[in-house]
């Protein structure tokens, strides 16, 4: 007979006990909540249901492509979703966009901000100590009974953490690389032991030549790739690439935005178009966007399109 899965609280004594295999049948979606919806059926369809728990998903893109907006949206969706969770929002860009969070929060749920924990990370070592504290929080949910258990961890952005303090010398790149693996291992451990959804945003850098099929994309007329190189790419399970293209006809109304699955263990490489509105990030069918542009005379109609 197959023994049951190891419990979350046993992390400290895990290596002292005999390892036990898990039965993959018990990991099937019917047996537990494993995905966090993005709040939009089109984006959820792109991701086969939403963002997976026990996994690290990266959202990479130029600035103002919707990364932070998506993170804020997810933090507000988590308490209302089947995941029924609080979120831990770790930000390295200052200040935390509190006004945007407040604006996105539903008026019907004034308590919802109680379920968003925010902490600033100023450096990689800072982040590691924050994750150690998070581990204690996650292992002792009973200590904060007024708050839902944390099951969503957001890091916005990983690239900013590594801007200073590192040159391009081989020694520094090795040192930086080692930190990627340390951070990723910690995030993945938290994700697995506590069935958390982990989202990390990343910036992009220009690439002149080379680059494999799934790591390079065109955005705003630039050929770009997610920052932090192949080392960091090895540290995430799923990579989502947000790109924008200015409409060829020059109409100011239409930045064509795409969310593309660059790689994922469970998803084919495909993309979905989306828009950024005051009330969040939503997928659109390409035809709808064009229709709306015609009707509204080429102004920023994507912002006033009634989606639901």
Partner 1 sequence: MGEQSGAQNAWDMLSDEQSQKHTTTGSGDLNDILGGGIHCKEVTEIGGVPGVGKTQLGIQLAINVQIPVEYGGLGGKAVYIDTEGSFMVERVYQIAEGCIRDILEHFPQSHEKSSSGQKQLQPEHFLADIYYFRICSYTEQIAVINYLEKFLGEHKDVRIVVIDSVTFHFRQDFEDLALRTRVLSGLSLKLMKIAKTYNLAVVLLNQVTTKFTEGSFQLTLALGDSWSHSCTNRVILYWNGNERYACLDKSPSLPVASAPYAVTGKGIRDAVSSNHKRARVT
Point out which residues bind partner 1 (CB under 8 A): 2, 11, 14-15, 18-19, 21-25, 27-29, 48, 52, 54-56, 170, 173, 175, 177-179, 181-182, 185, 188-189, 191-193, 212-215, 229-231, 233-234, 236-237, 239, 262-263, 265-266, 268
Give the length of the chain: 308
Q: How far is the CB of 66 from partner 1 (least distance, A)?
A: 22
Q: How far is the CB of 104 from partner 1 (least distance, A)?
A: 29
Nearer to partner 1, 56 or 293 (CB): 56
Nearer to partner 1, 12 or 108 (CB): 12
Structure-token pair, residue 5:
């899965």
Q: How far is the CB of 233 from partner 1 (least distance, A)?
A: 4
End-to-end C-alpha distance for the chain, whole angstroms: 49
Q: How far is CA 141 from the centre of its chain?
A: 23
Q: How far is the CB of 242 from partner 1 (least distance, A)?
A: 17
The DSSP secondary structure of 287-300, one letter per residue, reads HHHHHHHHHTTTSS
> How far is it, in rounded angstroms, from Cα 109 to Cα 106?
6
> How far is it, in rounded angstroms, from Cα 23 to Cα 43?
30
Q: Which long-range contacts (CB under 8 A, 24 or more apart) does 133-136 make?
A: 134/88, 134/190, 135/186, 135/190
User: Quick check: helix, strand or coil at residue 271?
Assistant: strand
Nearer to partner 1, 187 or 293 (CB): 187
Q: How far is the CB of 157 from partner 1 (least distance, A)?
A: 19
User: Quick check: helix, strand or coil at residue 283?
Assistant: strand
Nearer to partner 1, 267 or 296 (CB): 267
Beta bridge partners of 154: 89, 199
Nearer to partner 1, 33 or 255 (CB): 33
């Amino acid at each position: 007979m197959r023994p049951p899965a190891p419990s979350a609280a046993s992390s400290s004594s895990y290596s002292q006990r005999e390892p036990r295999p898990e039965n993959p049948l018990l990991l099937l979606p019917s047996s537990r909540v494993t995905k966090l919806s993005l709040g939009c059926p089109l984006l959820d369809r792109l991701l086969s249901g939403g963002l997976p728990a026990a996994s690290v998903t990266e959202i990479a893109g130029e600035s103002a492509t919707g990364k932070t907006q998506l993170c804020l949206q997810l933090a507000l969706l988590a308490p209302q979703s089947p995941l029924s969770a609080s979120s831990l929002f770790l930000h390295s860009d200052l200040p935390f966009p509190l006004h945007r969070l407040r604006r996105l929060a539903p008026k019907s749920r004034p308590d919802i901000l109680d379920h968003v924990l925010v902490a600033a990370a100023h450096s990689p070592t800072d982040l590691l100590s924050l994750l150690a504290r998070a581990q204690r929080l996650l292992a002792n949910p009973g200590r904060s009974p007024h708050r839902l258990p944390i099951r969503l961890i957001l890091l916005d952005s990983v690239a900013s953490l590594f801007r200073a303090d590192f040159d391009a010398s081989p020694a520094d790149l090795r040192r930086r690389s080692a930190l990627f693996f340390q951070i990723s291992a910690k995030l993945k451990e938290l994700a697995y032991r506590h069935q958390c959804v982990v989202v990390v945003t990343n910036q992009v850098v220009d690439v002149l030549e080379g680059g494999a099929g799934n790591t390079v994309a065109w955005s705003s007329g630039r050929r770009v790739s997610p920052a932090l190189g192949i080392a960091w790419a090895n540290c995430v399970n799923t990579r989502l690439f947000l790109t924008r293209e200015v409409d060829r006809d020059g109409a100011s109304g239409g930045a064509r935005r795409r969310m593309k699955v660059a790689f994922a263990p469970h998803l084919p490489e495909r993309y979905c178009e989306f828009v950024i509105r005051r009330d969040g990030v939503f997928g659109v069918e390409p035809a709808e966007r064009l229709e709306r542009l015609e009707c509204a005379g080429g102004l920023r109609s994507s912002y006033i399109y009634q989606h639901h």
